[in-house]
Amino acid sequence: MPRRRKIDHHALESLVARHQGVVRGRELERLGIARQTISYRTAVNGSWQRVLPGIVATHSGPTTMTQRLIAAHLYAGTGSILTGLTALRLYGVRAAANCTTAHLLIPHDRRRAARSYVVVERTRRLPSHRWRITLPCSPVARATIDATRRLDSIDAVRELVAEVVQRNLCSVSELILELRAAPSAGSRLPRLAVREIAAGIRSVAEAKLRRALLDAKIVQPHWNCDLFSAADDWLARPDAVWPDLGVALELDSLAWHLSPQSYRRTQARQRRMTKYGLLVLPVAPGDVETRLGEILDEIRQTLETARQRVPPTLRVRPQVQAQTAA
């Protein structure tokens, strides 16, 4: 009768702890646990469970998001990197908070099939990774482009691109470089969104309003630029401004006014602009969806009113230099 191999309990405990209870089946065998034992424990009503082919969770209860991502990384193999919405969720991007899939990049010469919640993408251009929890992730710009190339809603793409730039998680230039290097398949929407961001757009509502102004042949404002008085005093960074006419537009989202402090800051900014002679037009982002025609009329009327007066002397300084996405 063959002698049973002695289990290395110390190494097993270390492995289980390192990967939060998720391990490769062949690693368990290497440490002395027989294949039959693994099969018995992962059977129905067993004390373990199979998360993915070849990947075992050494408990029977529900798996956490982190355990599922560790399992996906082990399944994809050495050198694999989380990307797309999966990585962006780990970076804390709000627009990716509901992601339940595991999107991974693997070397082009490796074969791995998509399984369950795992999306596998072969690439000849593996980026240098960043660590989040215990997992390697693509840089934010690469993850953003990988994510947006798989989305079919321009608003979802705009929301994602606007958030990562607005929160300084990556720059417009980094997104443009990634787009130039990315495959052309699926790149139409991210290219459009990055062009808008390069023009100063920082939200879905701003993008829709910018498009509507273009279609209505209303002169385009400067978007998200720092605004200064003639004496070089900084006034504000309004969402949109027509400096030659002294008109500013503010898209006042309730999401930014959930505290008395943020509301007071908004009021102080608008009073400061009014003090220097600007006509300030506040617009709720939701109104861009529900009453766009009325808003365009209000903008036309405000601009026409401004043309009948001597405008204040103002200067603008772009927050980001406009660039054209490839």
- Burial of 128 (C-beta count, 10 Å sphere; 0-12/13-18/19+): exposed
Question: Which conformational region is residue 126 in: left (phi greater than 0), alpha (psi within -120 to 50 degrees), or beta?
Answer: beta
- Burial of 72 (C-beta count, 10 Å sphere; 0-12/13-18/19+): buried
Return the SS3 of 23.
strand
Q: In degrees to the nearest 10, what's the CA dihedral of 44, 19, 88, 121? A: -70
What is the predicted pLDDT for the residue at 260? 53
Show pLDDT as tens, one digit a residue, over the chain (326 residues): 455 567 777 887 887 888 889 999 998 888 888 889 989 999 888 899 999 999 999 998 899 999 999 999 999 999 999 999 999 999 999 999 999 999 999 999 999 999 999 999 999 999 999 999 889 999 999 999 999 999 999 999 999 999 999 899 999 999 999 999 999 999 999 999 999 998 888 888 899 999 999 999 999 999 989 999 888 989 998 999 999 999 999 987 544 434 456 667 777 888 889 999 999 999 988 889 899 999 999 999 999 999 999 999 999 987 644 344 44
Q: Which residue type occupies 244?
A: D
What are phi and psi for residue 146, nearest 5 degrees?
Answer: -60, -35
Residue that has been written with the tokens 């990556």 in this structure: 170
What is the predicted pLDDT for the residue at 126? 95
What is the predicted pLDDT for the residue at 4? 59
What is the predicted pLDDT for the residue at 263? 62
CB atoms within 10 A of CB 212: 16
224, 201 contact by CB (below 8 A): yes
What is the predicted pLDDT for the residue at 261? 62
Cα(226)–Cα(240) distance, integer angstroms: 10
Cα(219)–Cα(198) distance, integer angstroms: 18
What is the predicted pLDDT for the residue at 17? 82
The encoded tokens of residue 46 equal 């067993």
Cα(11)–Cα(21) distance, integer angstroms: 13
Write the DSSP symbol of residue 63.
P
Cα(64)–Cα(205) distance, integer angstroms: 35
What are phi and psi for residue 304, nearest 5 degrees?
Answer: -65, -40
- Residues contacting residue 303 through CB under 8 Å, at least 6 positions apart: 218, 219, 242, 245, 247
